[in-house]
Structure 1
Amino acid sequence: MHIAVVGATGAVGREVLRILEERDVTLLGMRPIASARSEGKSVPFRGEDVPVTVISERAFDGVDLVIWDTPDEVAVEWMPKVRDRVVNIDNSSAFRSFEDVPLVVPEVNPDAARGHKGLVANPNCTMMTLLMPLAPLHRAANARRVICSSYQSVSGAGVAGVDDLYEQLEKLLPEREAVRRGLVDLPPGRAFVHPIAFNVIPHVGGFDDAGTTSEERRVASEARKILASDTEIFATTVRVPTVVGHGISAWVEFERPIEADEARALLKAADGVTLEDDPKTNRYPTTLQSSGIDKAIVGRVRNDPANTNALGFFSACDNLRKGAALNAVQIAELLIDKNWL
């Protein structure tokens, strides 16, 4: 099996390489591919520094499977050129809504990958944080309506987002009084339109005419596609000043009454989920705790006293791992193991 990783020098691409090493995926070769900006660079993989190949049609010669982590426009440009030659797993949002492109989370809908047409889409990282606990609950009690808010780390905006946070923190740490009074005078960052240090920004993605962001639309549409349901989902996505790990606070109304204890039992038994739910001993999910973890951590499970069919929970998930790189590698493992290439 020869695998290529496009975007191998980026944050998620490097995470893909680390996970391929950690999970000891059997490979005959791994080819890191990136744009011309990375010409001459190399990436570490299994004890060696592997030279980066600049993207071109010839860069995919001899490759069986490609994991992509690129901007949408790059995926749109290159996917038609390679889709008939190799199997592709795409982390961009460019093709997720296409009817003939399966959107796959191996713990939730693995059979969707069967019969793919050369392309399998990897879902949105914020949606993943919601989906991992929602899916087992939905299977048991049919989720009718979800209202959720996200707490998204700056790494979701790439290296520029992380740099914005650290640079702004360094500038504002000595300015305690100015921060307390909101008298913060910073130049625009590279990733965010407002200062992210000591701040939360209810703006992830572009706004439509109704005031909904593209990220909020993705959370709803992708969850419905993966669950194959018509569940109503209303999301508010918020950027927070943490480095890695997304959080989701969710209220879910089901078709039937579901007690918190039943929900905990379902979550405890679910693949890809760790239940951390004992508030009396301060055990509950945090986004920092989720960093570097392969599973979503779920807790604060509780019933809505005003609605016997509803309950709430909090979920935290590493947006670079399960929210992106790990799920892509898991899809690759699924395709290889099932001989679905």
Structure 2
Amino acid sequence: MSNPSGAGPSGPDDGRSADLDAASSATLHPAAREVLLAALDRGYADPRRLHGRARDARLLLDNAREATADALGVRPDEVTFTSSGTDAVHRGLLGLVKGSRRGDVVVHSAVEHSAVLHAVAWGARGVSVGCDRLGRVDSDGLLGAIAPEVGVVALQTANHEVGTVQPVGELELPHGVPLFTDACASMGRLPLPDGWAAAAGSAHKWGGPAGVGVLLVRKGARWRSPFPGDDRVDERSSGFENVPAALAAAAALQAVVAERDEVNARHHDLVDVVRRRVAAEVPDVEVVGDPVARLPHLVTFSCLYVDGEALVHELDRHGFGIASGSACTSSTLAPSHVLEAMGVLTHGNVRLSLQRDATRAQVDAFCDVLPGVVRDIRARVGL
């Protein structure tokens, strides 16, 4: 991927600065950029029309669906492109609620993304199940909460904020109770688990364009659209798909899946460096999330007596883009409901997530800067 400055897409090669917020916006994968530019000329028409340009767009959309299905190990007719990962979450979860013959209660973990919590609050009744200090859901408690009126169980594949992988494939739900999994944080980076009836993903997290979500609905799942109908071929979507972006998202997904063993191993080692150095070099810090069963590229830690907003600004001033606050409400820097549910420190927290081409130099530079930044912030408030 070309860069006029000669620097890598995540920062200068010497590691003195870096974009460490891939969980919010991974840099566009080179495969996505190439396909997007090529598809803009052919994929602009409405794929539901009958003229030649529309047929071209329909062919590209079908190719995107087939490539996505191949990368994820699902059927092409189980794939729908939506306007975002949030949209995919809402449609997937609420569609299962609408199709349920049991009831409108959703049993979910306390550490679900706000997209799940908002969907439940809008169109269902929720029962929240707690987790341990690593962020792993209480599986027995979740299964024990399945009463006759429970229509759906919702459990994320991996946590957006602390990276802990959840036991989705280990759950044995009663017959007739479908499982919805929010796979936005993990899709492409980890294989999809077994056992779900509907799943959601978000292209910008794996290096595809922003504004593309992926909704997966298993063949035979009882799913009904929870929103007003649209005269489209695919009842799970509404409106006019962004065909070039969908094709670029599929190309990035295929590339990420093809290279993930190498990238995941490298990221896992780099995150281990962060976990080790932060715990050893920053006083009064808590590194959270499962140290082993986790997303390979993400780590969160909390610093006592430090304001998260100040930490974001100071690290940005040193050239490091990071996230703070809840992974789903960081624009407000509200205390994290995920960290609260885990029973760990909720303020002064930083979520670091590595871009595809992250280097040891970038990670070491971040760890070199962090102790001084934390010390200076504490000094300002007399600590």
TM-score, with structure 2 as normaliser: 0.28
Structure in which a larger fraction of residues adopt strand: 1
With normalisation by structure 1, the TM-score equals 0.31
Q: Which structure would you say has the larger RCO, counting Cα contacts within 8 Å and 6 or more residues apart?
A: 2
